[in-house]
Amino acid sequence: MASPLLNGHGKFCMIEALFNQPEMLAAQKTLDAVALRQEALASNVANAETPGYKRIDLSTNFQSDLARACASGDSQQISDLQPALAPDATATTTSPDGNNVNLENEMLQMNQNTLLHTLETQIVSYQLSKMRMAVTGKS
């Protein structure tokens, strides 16, 4: 079995190994998902008055798939995950035109998504500061 510190050409890739730790990859994938979800929420708000528009959100499978991949500790499994959007099957149509976007709910979801983005950004920043400390001996 090849060392995770060697690239395909047998050369040392310590930096790559540091960034391929399961915790760092999970934080990166969560940030990817949060950014994608923000796009979906913005689309929902923009289409709140569009007749027949159906609300979209982050696929419900992504969170459970990420949790399973993190529990396995397999960096490749985490790296292979890709967040995706899907129609929201739980959204109910309350408007006669078939649109199922609730503007108040979208704004609440946007606020929660912003908080999650802030949290994940702080986690990544902390991980990077630990790496900087290990390399330079300074914080």
46 occurs within a structural domain: yes
Q: Is residue 1 part of a domain?
A: no
Which residues constitute the domain of residue 79? 14-136
Which pLDDT score is estimated for 117?
96
Q: Where are the alpha helices (DSSP H) in 1-139?
A: 14-19, 22-46, 60-72, 75-80, 103-136
Residue 5 within a domain: no
pLDDT on residue 103: 95
- Which residues of the chain fall short of a pLDDT of 50? 1-2, 5
Within a domain: 75: yes
- Alpha-carbon separation of residue 97 from 41, 42, 44, 100 (angstroms): 20, 20, 15, 9
41: in domain = yes
Residue 34 pLDDT: 97
Assigned domain for 54 exists: yes
Domains held by the chain: number: 1
pLDDT of res. 8: 54
**Residue 37 lies inside a defined structural domain of this protein:** yes
Q: What's the pLDDT score for residue 21?
A: 84
pLDDT of residue 1: 44
